[in-house]
A and B are shown apart, each in its own frame.
Chain A
Amino acid sequence: MMAQSRNPLGAGLDALEHWKLIALLVLVTVVLGVIGASPLFPAFDHSLAGTLAGDHWLRNLPGKAAADFTDFGKEHEWSIEGARAASRWAGILGIVVQIFLAGGIIAVLRHGPFGFGQLFEPARRNFWHNAKCFLLFCVALGVAESVWLGGGFYARRKLFENSPPDAASHRISWWILVAGAILIYAVLSILYDFARAARRFSPTIGAWRGWRFARAAASGSWLAALGVWLFWFLAGGVLWLGLLLAAWLMPAVSPLAILVNFALLLSALAARSAARLGAWGSWIAFLEPRARRAAAATVRIRYDIARARTSSGPLRGPTEMGGEVSPAPSH
């Protein structure tokens, strides 16, 4: 194994060596995908293999393929609804699995080779912490984006309703709103990841303190953190979309071409999985030099004031009343 990089981007790329972990993520996704699509398999068998519609679709025959497609949609609309519902549940299950696996990933990365047993134990241990962090993330994201986008589009409509549609104000304001929404998502996403990663450095830290840990860790390094986030967002996104586009554009009629098509789709799934793992690798490396300070920022000191009485003397000791004091975060 190569020497571990201290640079976050390098560390993220190092994480890609764990191909078994990437394969696990892909396998989970494929299984969930098959579950989501399964209500449609009998429909495909009946109407594509059992009639000429499949032939028309595959050959993309003008005048026939499109009409057969709409007929398929009408004839099997309940199977399609079933597949939609199954995909929704598969998607939710996917989130749960990701939350579970994240707890293990943050524990094993940058500690050398590991087995799946070493992955699943911390995953199990950190699951509820991650779930609570997820809830906090959803609430924060929902509120922040609603305020930003809702208020922003309302203001945009009011301010520019008498401007012609091609006015620069429309375009600029739209891009500002979109960029802001992406920035909000990026910031909260970073905090969410850091809050989960806090368990690597403070194995018993809770969700609230995890978020405080995250804020403290990012404090003063937001630009760097956003840079890392943007790298994995773009790298993963471009690769994901590029492979999907290649799969969409290639005609696939022969068995070999269909296999190549499937390979491209699997590659797209793998690219996304790799980007996710790479991002974790980057975050671990990012947090390592900042963890101690961030952890300290979340320590709460409880103390009780003991009244010290002597037989003859007045009160001694601090004059404060008992309570909790959080040391001010150091910069």
Chain B
Amino acid sequence: MGRTLSVLTSTAALAAVLTAVAVSGPAAPASAEDNNNGRTKNVIYLLGDGMGRTHVTAGRERFYGANGKLVMETLPAQGYVSTYAVEKKSGQPGQADFRPNLVTDSASSATAWASGVKTYNAALGVDAKGTVVPTMMELAKQAGYRTGNVSTAEITDATPAGQMSHALARGCQGPVYSAAACQDTTVTGAALPTGDVRVTPIADQIARNGTADVIFGGGLSRFDSTDETALKEQGYAVLGSVSSQIPATRTDLNSATGEKVFGLFNKGNLTIEKTKQDNPAAPQAQEPSLPEMTKKAIELLDNKKKDSSGNGFYLQIEGALIDKRSHANDAAQTLEEIKAFDDSVAAALDFAKKDGNTLVIVTADHECAGFNIIEKGSFTNAEAAAPPANVDAGNTANNSATSRPGGNVKDTARSTGIINGAGAGDPRNFAPATFRTPDDSAEVKDGSKEASLWLTYLSGNHTGADVPIYAYGSGSEQLQGSVDNTDLFDIVGNSLRVLR
């Protein structure tokens, strides 16, 4: 009888353990306080639009000096992301009709990480043949996660829209439909009915699909009173007034509460940080910064204190103006946008460290403008009087280029000096823009030849360079090394366990 009792006791204990495992295992959402069995509970995906490797380096040197680091650079997993797009009607990589386009735009890149497919420039949430593909934010929402989408651009712009819409053309932003902006018969063969989601203005989609619980950004002009009604019917707290076109303010943001919040703080893109710093009394200075929006979005989405189910969240944060000011070749503004973005990374990382079950990913969609750091006192090929010299073409080790005996001197007629600081008013000044760093002595000024950080641009458009990626938290090891932007869909999807 004693042996029987022992067997029964052991069996009961085993059953209790197994029952506990079954009940508290990965299938059940875990509270933030436990270790969640290694499952990623939250994903915060931060994207510096147009932020190439040099943008990061220049930001580091400008704000923290040569021996410093941006916060994003302190994340433990680091690598690079390839970003190429494909042509319209192309197949996917490995298929016979695959036709790559080596320089992506923000729409194609957003679709790559949000939906896991290569598509053509301008496409959102559709593959290169126009087929609708679900987005990570839609999948997360379907699976019960809370969701957020924050940008310093219009919220209908490519990066945020890549998670919350399906459109043949990124220009179909609203508030109204137009055939030129919304249709693409190269892809579809014939014009689609205007009721088809793929030609429905993006603002109309965002206001009605409920994909993101928390929406912060710009672009109020894209929305109208019918959109406001649709938002409120879904339970959104709408900050400011859409129907009266009154942007929300920092005060509105700070006081926002609720499960679903929609706040647009400018009729267009948000105001650049440098303008707000230079004009602190201007109304635009009342717009919240990206770090402020990031902290508030996390606060609203992190419902562990008020929801015992402890469901996690998926949040996308975009520093959009890095790209837009790089298009403008304005290094001073670009640097401040990089700093604001990095401060947002700091906010996300701070939360992740306290939470313990959050994956933080920091990357970019593409590089913009061929941003570069040149040696102090040197000049770019674009400033030279003639193409680069190669006087050694007779040498068999160096004979692959046409011999050019000279010309690699600065053309002083069209490149007369530094373009920022005191030189900003002289239209003949071509490059570079120079900036002091914390390593420079106190008397060194921006825009002087004594400043140590010399920055130049190759063009006003995107380039095809790989972009950096940094990650922290559970699953971040998958981002150590080189990945393609479509891989990010699988990595995030597997972390959230929404892929099948």
A and B assemble together: no
Binding site for A on B (CB under 8 A): none
Interface residues of A (CB under 8 A from B): none
